[in-house]
């Protein structure tokens, strides 16, 4: 999926679209990973795809690669829901309903994602 998007020019389009935007590339990488995570359910696929899409932007903006990895990784954790295997494992292990799992697991994963982004942005001020 990642390669199809890259070969189709989506990465270059993202670079062109956000080249002069005031949005931090780290926030953009996080947002792309979040959207992919919600759409696909897999944190692994979301992070690999987001990395491929923001690579041209990251290179042109001179962003620290380690910080981008952390930002995308944090974004890939957000909004775990019914198309994520971890969601169902948590639900079954704790014998919760889907509603209870959404209220606990999904909220927890999203908070971890947001705190991760904040940590990356703070690190970017120091590094």
Q: CA 96, CA 94: separation in Å to the nearest integer? A: 6
Share of the chain above pLDDT 70, in %: 86
Task: Provide the Cα torsion 37, 1, 64, 59; round to 10°.
Answer: -140
Which string of b and e fits 50-81 if b means at least 16 CB within 10 Å?
Answer: bbbbbbbbbeebebbeebbebbbbbbbbbbbb
Within 8 A by CB and 6+ apart from 47, the residues are: 33, 72, 73, 75, 76
3-state secondary structure of 37: helix
Q: Which of 11-20, 42-51, 99-108 has the lowest mean pLDDT?
A: 11-20
Lowest-confidence region among 4-8, 51-55, 66-70: 4-8
DSSP 89: H
Q: What is the pTM of this model?
A: 0.82
Does 6 score more than 70 pLDDT? no
Query: pLDDT-derived band of residue 11, with 50, 70 and 90 as boundaries?
Result: low
Token pair, residue 106, equals 């999904």
In this predicted structure, the answer to whether residue 63 has a pLDDT above a threshold of 70 is yes
CA distance 115 to 111: 6
Assess whether pLDDT exceeds 70 at residue 12: no
Residue 86's domain comprises 1-125
Return the DSSP state at 72: H
> 19 falls in which pLDDT band (50, 70, 90)?
low
Report the number of distinct structural domains present in the chain. Answer: 1
């Amino acid at each position: 999926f990642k390669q199809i998007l890259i070969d189709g020019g989506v990465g270059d389009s993202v670079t062109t679209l956000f080249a002069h935007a005031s949005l931090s590339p780290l926030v953009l990488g996080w947002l792309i990973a979040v959207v992919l995570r919600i759409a696909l359910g897999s944190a692994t696929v979301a992070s690999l795809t987001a990395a491929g899409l923001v690579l041209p932007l990251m290179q042109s903006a001179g962003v620290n690669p380690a910080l981008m990895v952390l930002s995308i990784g944090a974004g890939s954790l957000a909004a775990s829901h019914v198309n994520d295997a971890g969601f169902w494992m948590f639900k079954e292990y704790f014998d919760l309903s889907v509603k209870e799992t959404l209220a606990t697991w999904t909220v927890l994963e999203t908070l971890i994602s947001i705190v991760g982004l904040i940590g990356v942005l703070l690190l970017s001020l120091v590094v």
